[in-house]
Structure 1
Amino acid sequence: MILLQRIYIDPGHGGSDTGATGNGLNEKDIVLDIGYQMSVYLRENYEGMYRRMSRTDDTFVSLQGRTDDANSWGADVFISIHVNAFNGSARGFETYIHTSNPTGAANMQSVMHPQILDEMHAFDSSIPDRGAQTANFHVLRETQMSAILTENLFIDQTDDAALLQDPDFIATVAAAHAESVAEYLNLTPIDNGDDGDGEEGFTFQHWDGSIIRHGDQGDHVEELQQRLVDLGYSLPQFGIDAIFGAETAEAVRTFQREAGIGVDGIPGPETHEALENHSNTFAFQHWDGSIIRHGDQGGQVEELQQRLVDIGYNLPQFGVDGIFGTETAGTVRNFQQEAGIGVDGIPGPETYRALQR
């Protein structure tokens, strides 16, 4: 089983708590922007992790609520994002871990602090390094995992505030947070096909160009079945058994219908070409093809919830908790309605295919 790292992103303040203010800016807005962009950057560039945010909109969450949520979720790291204020003249970047100086937090700080500062210096080399420090902050003290708090410039200082209003600077700071925590956790970068050679699509290795018919067996059938499963089409009864029967034919028929080609359940040249060219930008790692039902728990539910959150659906009460309950079912129902598929709140093969697309 793949063990995924859990990254808890905590944009400070929110709602009635504006945080620091200055130059017409509110801390709560800036840090939410950094936190959200950090989460998206991780999603698009790294694999092997889940992300959870203490808030995804302008909502007040208590300090206790943030640390309780991170602890109950089982986060591996906690990153609390802030901007500073003092007297209108102080500038710079600083980070904090708890005064007890736990090894994990210290190691994380030693990676994240210099990397984020280096990226800031690409915009303004005069930004002071206020140091990697310790403090007895609640979110550092009460979290049960390696935790760090970043203070990203001073909102009440003119030069710093100008940077905090620059969308490119905010995107750079968010990416620096993401890349540095990814380095600390040793996350695997996603191959986005940007190595200059162009992205190679899928190519059948065993198919000889002939039409596959009922009862055919062998590697070419097995490869066809594997490709269908990889694209989210389910073979629940027999699975990948290298035998072309009614179940595989039905999966082919479903693919043909959704691909907009002739629907006959027979995989000939047109179907194989469509299977090779089919774009599948997201792949579920834990789903085994079965229907998820109320009360189910585990990695496949957590992955489903994370996918829903990533594409813009909210789970405000329980979040990504790995339990399929009423809130997740309602969110699935909303997605199904907007995707134009059957609306029943039950994530089966059709819903998974739509989520992959």
Structure 2
Amino acid sequence: MSRPRFFAPFIYKYYTRKELFGLQKIYIDPGHGGSDTGATGNGLNEKDIVLDIGHQMSVYLRENYEGMYRRMSRTDDTDVSLQDRTDDANNWGADVFISIHANALDGSVRGFETFIHTSNPTGASDLQSVMHPQILDEMHTFDSSIPDRGEQTANFHVLRETRMSAILTENLFIDNTGDAALLQDPDFIAAVAAAHAEAVAEFLNLTPIDNGDDDDDNDDDNDDNEDGFTFQHWDGSIIRHGDLGDHVEELQQRLVDIGYRLPQFGIDGIFGAETAGAVRTFQREAGIGVDGIPGPETHEALETHIDTFTFHQWDGSIIRHGDQGAHVEELQQRLVDLGYGLSQFGIDGIFGAETAGAVRAFQQDAGIGVDGIPGPETQRALRR
């Protein structure tokens, strides 16, 4: 396994980054993507649901635990081959690999199941024994009748070709009406994502972040900026190429939150060319010096950046064909305000082919995944 190594004259041993910093690496793999929709049913695509779970899992870990990096095989609706996923995880030196999926059969079957490789490696078996019951228990808080389809083994590529503890979760059956109703519930998706994160944190023995929740005086500590954002880990020094740690991860998360993509490496806590490119784009649009180096001026701009538009009716869940209501009308109004016409039906509160076409045109212009589905990434871009 190839990993960066560090050396000093007084050290007579090479050390991996994990040995020096105690950082765990969590690889999150939302299945399918792009032209590969995965399972379909009840107007849902597996690729969209698992991307939502994966993204929320990553954010939950960042906000609640320290001592780890996270990486996703995809952060938007793109094609990623199975070989690319496992190669990326292996080359990165991941400690765990979590592949997230949803199932389908004939519409009559429902339930939750997990898989590790048929060789039943000890690490993967231990990971499964922690993750499976925790996720299922969380699902049962929404519907106690969800069947437990068991802790299973399979010869799947992502389990066979990864060189770390690897598990694949199958989160209900998308073509079953009962399961599909849950998979369309934003609260259920958030709970499942959190359960994935909590189980991985337990397996890796991650340290919880002390958010000061027991101190009532802290409630307003971060209200200095209108959008409520303050850098917690940055000490004011200039971040340069090759720097790594929580302060870099925090910078990356801020860039992603306000719509600047990191599609190749994501929020990995390492300041490289991709993050520098996002910084340059932000600097250019913010009207400050463009050098790709996040110093005090850039951090001040990132802290004070305020979204000029806010969705009031949209809860952030994916809007799909046939959806209707005030949140769809709000989306349509935003598209029209930005110059994307709805000449046939106008702002009618119904998400149909015309609105999907306007979304695709916007996604193309915004340089994000083009699928005509307004999910979290499109929502962020629409705010910019």
Q: TM (normalized to structure 1)?
A: 0.70
Contact persistence 2:29–2:99 (CA under 8 A) = yes
Residue number among 149, 158, 163 corresponding to 1:144 in the alignment? 163
Counterpart Cα distance in 2 of 1:48 and 1:152: 27
Contact persistence 2:69–2:269 (CA under 8 A) = no
Aligned residue number for residue 334 of structure 1: 281
Pick which of 172-181 and 321-330 moved more: 321-330
Shift of 1:140: 0.7
Counterpart Cα distance in 2 of 1:193 and 1:291: 27
Counterpart Cα distance in 2 of 1:280 and 1:158: 40
Aligned residue number for residue 11 of structure 2: none
Contact persistence 1:297–1:322 (CA under 8 A) = no
CA offsets 1:278-304 (integer angstroms, 9 cap, x no match): x8743337x793451xxx425259645
Letter in 1 for 2:263: P
Task: Spell out the pairing of 1:97-176 with structure 2 (5 A cutoff).
Answer: 97-176=116-195
Q: Note if 1:289 corresponds to 2:237.
A: yes
Shift of 1:98: 0.9
CA offsets 1:212-246 (integer angstroms, 9 cap, x no match): xxxxxxxxxxxxxxxxxxxxxxxxxxxxxxxxxxx
Aligned residue number for residue 348 of structure 1: 295
CA offsets 1:133-172 (integer angstroms, 9 cap, x no match): 1111000111111111000000111111111111111111
What residue ranges of structure 1 are gaps of 5+ in the alignment? 203-258, 261-278
What residue ranges of structure 2 are gaps of 5+ in the alignment? 1-19, 305-384
Task: Spell out the pairing of 1:1-357 with structure 2 (5 A cutoff).
Answer: 1-195=20-214, 197-199=216-218, 281-284=230-233, 289-290=237-238, 292=240, 296-299=241-244, 303=249, 305=252, 308-309=255-256, 312-319=259-266, 326-355=273-302
Shift of 1:336: 2.2
Counterpart Cα distance in 1 of 2:274 and 2:175: 41
- Name the SS for the 1:336 alignment partner: helix
- Name the SS for the 1:315 alignment partner: coil
Letter in 1 for 2:278: T
Letter in 2 for 1:89: S
Letter in 1 for 2:73: S
Q: Relative to 1, partners in 2 of residues 1:72 and 1:305: Cα closer, same or farther, differing over 3 Å?
A: farther
Counterpart Cα distance in 1 of 2:122 and 2:262: 33
Contact persistence 1:3–1:48 (CA under 8 A) = yes
CA offsets 1:305-343 (integer angstroms, 9 cap, x no match): 566446543223455677755433221112223445322
Q: Relative to 1, partners in 2 of residues 1:72 and 1:356: Cα closer, same or farther, differing over 3 Å?
A: farther
CA offsets 1:188-221 (integer angstroms, 9 cap, x no match): 222222225442999xxxxxxxxxxxxxxxxxxx
Largest Rg, 1 or 2: 1
Counterpart Cα distance in 2 of 1:33 and 1:317: 18
Q: Relative to 1, partners in 2 of residues 1:137 and 1:302: Cα closer, same or farther, differing over 3 Å?
A: farther
Letter in 2 for 1:136: N
CA offsets 1:50-70 (integer angstroms, 9 cap, x no match): 211111111111101111111
Counterpart Cα distance in 1 of 2:232 and 2:104: 43
- Name the SS for the 1:90 alignment partner: coil
- Name the SS for the 2:70 alignment partner: strand
- Name the SS for the 1:149 alignment partner: strand
Shift of 1:42: 1.3
- Name the SS for the 2:91 alignment partner: helix
Q: Relative to 1, partners in 2 of residues 1:8 and 1:29: Cα closer, same or farther, differing over 3 Å?
A: same
Identity of aligned residues (%): 79
Tell me the matched-pair count: 280
Q: Relative to 1, partners in 2 of residues 1:140 and 1:200: Cα closer, same or farther, differing over 3 Å?
A: same
Q: Relative to 1, partners in 2 of residues 1:311 and 1:44: Cα closer, same or farther, differing over 3 Å?
A: farther
Aligned residue number for residue 358 of structure 2: none
Aligned residue number for residue 8 of structure 2: none
Contact persistence 1:283–1:356 (CA under 8 A) = no
- Name the SS for the 1:96 alignment partner: strand
Instruction: Name the Cα RMSD after superposition.
Output: 2.8
Letter in 2 for 1:283: Q
Q: TM (normalized to structure 2)?
A: 0.66
